[in-house]
Amino acid sequence: MTEDTLFLPGLSPVDGLDIHARFDGGSLSSDGGVLLLREIEQGLNFADTLANCLHDKRDRLRTRHSYSSMIRSRLLAIACGYEDCDDHDELRHDPAFKMACDRLPNTGNALASQPTLSRLENTPSWRQLARMGLGLVDLFCKSFRAVPRHIVLDIDDTTDRTHGGQQLSLFNTHAGGYCFQPIHIYDAASQKPVCFVLRPGKRPSGQEAAQVLRHVIRRIRQNWPRVVITVRGDGHYGTPAVMDFLEQSGCFYILGLPGNKTLKQISHPWCDDVAMRRALGQKNKIRRFFQTRYGAKSWSKQRKVIARIEATEQGSDVRFIVTNLPGRGKHLYEKVYCTRGKMENLIKEHKLYTKSDRTSCHRWEANQFRLFLHTGAYWLLLLLRGAAPKRSRWRGATFETIRRAFLKIAIRVEQLKTRITIALPTACPNRNMLVLLVTRINAQSP
């Protein structure tokens, strides 16, 4: 190595011996676990799903990187914690990432750089993005080995702050600034992502929410004609347009219902009854559930409304939900509706651990494409965690814990004539689980 090789100064001596540290280790990588994600992505086929929706107009004689290869390298980097495109200027030479994208670690061409990936982000049109969204719904259906009899779809929107002149960015008082407000839809049982739509920073209207659900449910029914679908959402999804569409589509729903003057009048005797029971029983808190048929002027018919009334020393609190599910009010509210709170953790993992709020492009099409890429990283981390045994501590671990334990692993790569050898640390703390994960991932691959 030449004398101008970068070195790490200022390290204290050990047992009287000086430490000389240089960046001349050769073919090393600090992200050896990306090879696990490669196996998962090959079974999931996420990159090809998005790439097949793009029409490649580039000159093939001058093209080095396919759309599929660029998408794969981008979502693998996001899953490993490199959410910025600028990181690819160095990662494009990383031997582990090159192998994960089916290139030889030493003699293979470097991966796409940041400018190339930025051009990719601005390539899709809105029609191609729509096909990608439907393709991801198909991908969700294909991820099941057997067709489920019943699925529960959780729908919600979240705040995505903006810091520039991005298209669709609006000022939102609740968010405290300019933002997007994308819609997220997950499968409640498997935590798998279903649909993600980037939209302006305001609460979605009933017609808009119904339109999103219409595309998702129709696509699911094309794959699974007989599946029973239940939709759960909070108060601003309990609109006439959403309920009418779900009833016409033969779906169940359980949605939050904002209170109004009429509902308060209906629930007033119930509140008095619960408050009286609490006072006579000398209890700190008491909760009761009531059902009634209610129809607002904007509704096409009356529907079942469940009221949860909780009385404390500070007074009474009333919450309403509307549903077409059969059953008792207490069960429907506590066991069915309230469990949708787990979706908040899924949104948190999507935003916090894959950094899906890095939507800083000017064009909304580029930001929507970025949202799809971060969804791919979410898929990879979810399936990696799901490969762990059910009773192991890794099944409840966060994505960041999974990333540090199984992705951030130092390896030394050596390319020989007949094979590629990888040397992992002898003192790898989770090597037994790492071996088990590789075995289970390969067993689950098609």
Query: Alpha-carbon distance 186 to 194, whole Å?
Result: 5
- The single-letter code of the amino acid at 446 is P
Query: Alpha-carbon distance 404 to 385, whole Å?
Result: 12
Give the model confidence (pLDDT) of 401-445 as tens digits.
Answer: 999 999 999 999 999 999 999 999 998 889 999 999 999 998 776
**214 vs 341, more confident:** 214
Query: Alpha-carbon distance 223 to 218, whole Å?
Result: 9
Identify which of 83, 88, 53 has the alpha carbon closest to the alpha carbon of residue 68. 53
Identify which of 229, 255, 228 has the alpha carbon closest to the alpha carbon of residue 242. 255
Question: Residue 183: what pLDDT?
Answer: 97
SS3 state at 226:
coil
Beta partners for residue 422, in sequence order: 413
DSSP string, 318-363: EEEEEE---S-HHHIIIIIIGGGGHHHHHHHIIIIIS-TT----SS
Question: Residue 387: what pLDDT?
Answer: 95
Report the percent of the chain where pLDDT is more than 90.
Answer: 84
Give the model confidence (pLDDT) of 49-71 as tens digits.
Answer: 999 999 988 888 888 999 999 99
Please give the angle made by the CA atoms of 326, 298 and 187, to the nearest 5 degrees: 45
The DSSP symbol for 429 reads T
Query: Alpha-carbon distance 194 to 137, whole Å?
Result: 5
Token pair of 222, please? 């094309």
pLDDT higher than 50, residue 3: no
Token pair of 292, please? 């009634």
Give the model confidence (pLDDT) of 272-294 as tens digits.
Answer: 999 999 888 888 899 999 999 99
Say if CB 323 and CB 306 are below 8 A apart.
yes
The separation between CA 136 and the C-alpha centre of its own chain, rounded to angstroms, equals 12
Question: Residue 163: what pLDDT?
Answer: 87
Say if CB 340 and CB 232 are below 8 A apart.
yes
Say if CB 220 and CB 209 are below 8 A apart.
no
Please give the angle made by the CA atoms of 309, 338 and 264, to the nearest 5 degrees: 30
What's the number of CA atoms in the CB half-sphere (13 Å) around residue 10? 1
Residue 24 phi/psi, 5° resolution?
-135, 30
Please give the angle made by the CA atoms of 359, 190 and 244, to the nearest 5 degrees: 75
The DSSP symbol for 300 reads S
Cα R_g (the chain), whole angstroms: 26
The separation between CA 126 and the C-alpha centre of its own chain, rounded to angstroms, equals 21
SS3 state at 10:
coil
Please give the angle made by the CA atoms of 169, 172 and 176, to the nearest 5 degrees: 110
Query: Alpha-carbon distance 248 to 245, whole Å?
Result: 5
Identify which of 292, 290, 273 has the alpha carbon closest to the alpha carbon of residue 329. 290
Say if CB 139 and CB 162 are below 8 A apart.
no
Question: Residue 147: what pLDDT?
Answer: 96
SS3 state at 243:
helix
Query: Alpha-carbon distance 234 to 218, whole Å?
Result: 22
pLDDT category, 5, cuts 50, 70, 90? low
pLDDT higher than 80, residue 128: yes
Mean pLDDT estimate for the chain: 93
Provide the whole-model pTM. Answer: 0.93
For the chain, domains (ranges, CATH) are 7-123+380-444 (no CATH), 126-353 (3.90.350)
- The single-letter code of the amino acid at 161 is R
pLDDT category, 44, cuts 50, 70, 90? very high
Give the model confidence (pLDDT) of 86-121 as tens digits.
Answer: 999 999 999 999 999 999 999 999 999 999 999 999
Q: How far is CA 96 from CA 111, 231, 315, 357, 431, in A?
A: 11, 41, 61, 27, 18
Q: How far is CA 369 from CA 52, 120, 305, 347, 391, in A?
A: 14, 9, 39, 18, 36
Identify which of 352, 347, 364 has the alpha carbon closest to the alpha carbon of residue 162. 364
Q: What is the mean pLDDT of residues 324-345?
A: 94
